[in-house]
Amino acid sequence: MNTGKKNNKEGWQQALQNAIRSPKELLKTLELEPKNTQAYDPKRTEFPLLVPHSFVKRMRKRDPKDPLLLQVLPTKKEQLSVPGFTRNPLLETSFITNGVVKKYLSRALLLATEACPVHCRYCFRRFFPYSNNLASTGNWENALAELGNTDETREVILSGGDPLSLSNRRLEELITKIELLKNITTLRVHTRFPVILPNRVDNGLLKLFSRKKLKIVVVIHSNHAQEIDESVYDSMQALSSTGTHLFNQSVLLRDVNDNASQLEALSRKLFESSVIPYYLNILDPVEGSAHFEVDINKAKQLIKELRQRLPGYLVPRLVREIPGELSKKIIA
Ligand code: SF4
């Protein structure tokens, strides 16, 4: 029915609204039998499935082991209780004031939103208490006061959730305020949007990232070469054309990307797309993700193999986050 109302949503917002939100629908789209997948449907409040069609299109049909599917499909393995895997693995709430996480000396992380373009089953913030800890509370003012109160802080990292879930108007409002802080020279954006919903990189965002007051660094999050299709490539080219520096961080995930050939293919695909592989993160031990864990010796061996196969600038650093440390710990 045409109500005569204008639809004001951007293309990416509409795509997010139409995203798949139930295992049943996802499995049907991929022509998979539920009995072959151990799928289960978490309650709405417990990190339910969320995946846009644009990402599902890059999954193989009738393959329960597809590496993209494994990252987003809730399975019964999540219900296992495994010692050492907790709801707050990085103890982040101890380092947050007014939505700003201050763990490192020169960088501060601003929790811009709880919304994401996809729910990654291994996400260390899947149980994070966003409602008490967002920087958007009070129209950013308290968070900005935190960022501006020390000359040590030179770089603001927009995180979440995914900060590109904010509309361009809201992002512009925030970036304009950050630009006024004299101590801040660099704005870093941690985002999975350009990989999951590449049309998020629209003209409004490009215009915003073309502003020259701050150096802009975008760290995307891709775990597998199969995620990078032509639309992702195009979005990276567009971002790169604004002078934005592009890096990628991945999480090492069992059965998704834990072999040297897959990691090599990912690094090469990223480089073709003007993105430098930056970190390969050891899984943070969040409850429900133990089935993704890769043995640490295997992880080190993978990096050794990558060093033989790739030039040094395409080998990501194998890192682990340790609560209370002043930087990520480099393992290899
Ligand atoms: S997009 Fe990032 S923050 Fe959101 S669920 Fe995935 S890993 Fe977590």
What pLDDT was estimated at residue 4?
39
- Non-local (6+) Cβ contacts of 5 within 8 A are none
What pLDDT was estimated at residue 179?
96
What pLDDT was estimated at residue 136?
84
Q: Tokens representing 274?
A: 């003007």
What's the CA-to-centroid distance between 162 and ligand 1, angstroms?
7
What pLDDT was estimated at residue 250?
98
Answer yes or no: do 74 and 160 share one domain: no
Residues of the chain scoring pLDDT < 70: 1-8
CATH number for the domain harbouring residue 224: 3.20.20.70
Answer yes or no: do 123 and 215 share one domain: yes
Q: How far apart are CA 274 and CA 68, in angstroms?
A: 22
What pLDDT was estimated at residue 3?
39
Residue to probe by mutation, ligand 1, list 124, 125, 195, 286, most atoms within 8 Å of CB = 125
Tell the residue nearest (CA) to atom 3 of ligand 1. 161
Residue to probe by mutation, ligand 1, list 162, 191, 200, 284, most atoms within 8 Å of CB = 162
Indicate whether 5 belongs to any domain. Answer: no
Indicate whether 307 belongs to any domain. Answer: yes
Question: Residues with Cβ within 6 A of ligand 1?
Answer: 116, 118-120, 123, 125, 160-162, 192, 221
Answer yes or no: do 66 and 96 share one domain: no
What pLDDT was estimated at residue 1?
37
Indicate whether 85 belongs to any domain. Answer: no
What pLDDT was estimated at residue 8?
65
What pLDDT was estimated at residue 2?
38
Q: How far apart are CA 59 and CA 27, in angstroms?
A: 11
Integer CA distances (angstroms), 234 to 101, 264, 272, in order:
32, 21, 11
Answer yes or no: do 145 and 24 share one domain: no
Indicate whether 86 belongs to any domain. Answer: no
Tell the residue nearest (CA) to atom 6 of ligand 1. 120
Domain count, the chain: 2
Q: Pick from 28, 46, 78: which residue ends a domain?
A: 78
Per residue in 138-195, pLDDT tens? 779 999 999 987 789 999 999 999 999 999 999 999 999 999 999 999 999 999 999 9
Structural domain boundaries, residue 46: 11-78
Answer yes or no: do 134 and 67 share one domain: no
- Non-local (6+) Cβ contacts of 148 within 8 A are 181, 182, 183, 184
Q: Quick count: other Cβ atoms within 10 Å of Cβ 191?
A: 24
Q: Pick from 56, 78, 100: which residue ends a domain?
A: 78
State pTM to two decimals.
Answer: 0.95
Answer yes or no: do 107 and 46 share one domain: no
Nearest to residue 135, comparing CAs of 124, 127, 126, 144? 144
Answer yes or no: do 53 and 132 share one domain: no
**What DSSP assignment string belongs to 154-203?**
-EEEEESS-GGGS-HHHHHHHHHHHHT-TT--EEEEEESHHHH-GGGS-H
Answer yes or no: do 35 and 58 share one domain: yes
Indicate whether 4 belongs to any domain. Answer: no
Answer yes or no: do 31 and 99 share one domain: no
**What DSSP assignment string belongs to 192-245?**
SHHHH-GGGS-HHHHHHHT--SSEEEEEEE---GGG--HHHHHHHHHHHTTT-E
What pLDDT was estimated at residue 7?
58
Q: Pick from 20, 47, 78: which residue ends a domain?
A: 78
Answer yes or no: do 217 and 279 share one domain: yes
